[in-house]
A and B are shown apart, each in its own frame.
Chain A
Amino acid sequence: DADVTQTPRNRITKTGKRIMLECSQTKGHDRMYWYRQDPGLGLRLIYYSFDVKDINKGEISDGYSVSRQAQAKFSLSLESAIPNQTALYFCATSGSPGQWADTQYFGPGTRLTVL
């Protein structure tokens, strides 16, 4: 089974709709991240969480919100989706004790299309 899972894998929605992307991990990591990938721009950080009570904005948080329901779950919400939020969204985790705590491991991504 995958260590970092994302649901849904693909989603098409309409402008103005609320949508939630979910991320779960079995790696036991404390830190979780949401990134967005647009063609030609690489990945950019939306939000990150270092533990259940710690939520931080990334460089492109406008229009998004997050919820850290448990150590293993981190959800990203688009309260009112707009077409320029069409992108590939990745969840990542890090924080193994000891070695490689700095290394982030990614989920499979969610392709979101806003019409």
Chain B
Amino acid sequence: AQTVTQSQPEMSVQEAETVTLSCTYDTSENNYYLFWYKQPPSRQMILVIRQEAYKQQNATENRFSVNFQKAAKSFSLKISDSQLGDTAMYFCAFCKGTDKLIFGTGTRLQVFP
């Protein structure tokens, strides 16, 4: 069975600085997808970034980028130029094709002025 582990329950960063959130996963699959979702205090689950396992190139989305290490089964999220609006819970998730998402337990990120 697939599992997703986020080992950092809480992180903090100063505005305009860079922060990296960690995620590891366990699977025997070769083709799959990885996601980072953001959940601000409004509780909405918002897609941040998506990575296809068969692509070696790391995904980027504006200030958000990932470091995808397939062999190590690692999928970290880097947030550059952190903004106060980035304060949220961040969830890493694994999906095998169009199947269900397997979520980690989340990392609470606080951005300080």
Contact = CB atoms under 8 A, between A and B. Distances in A.
Contacts of B25: none
Interface residues of A, number: 27
Interface of B: 4, 33, 35, 37, 42-47, 50, 91, 95, 97-98, 100-101, 103-106
B101 A31 contact: no
Contacts of B50: 100, 103
Interface of A: 31, 33, 35, 40-45, 48, 50, 58, 88, 90, 92, 94-95, 100-106, 108-109, 111
Contacts of A104: 95, 101
Contacts of B91: 42-43
* Interface SS majority for chain A: strand
A21 to B, nearest CB: 15
Contacts of B35: 103
Given A43-B101, A100-B50, 20 more contacts: A31-B98, A33-B100, A41-B105, A42-B103, A42-B105, A45-B100, A45-B101, A50-B98, A88-B43, A95-B98, A102-B33, A103-B33, A103-B35, A103-B47, A103-B50, A104-B95, A106-B46, A108-B43, A109-B44, A111-B43
Nearest to A47: B100
Given A43-B91, A90-B45, A102 B105 contact: no
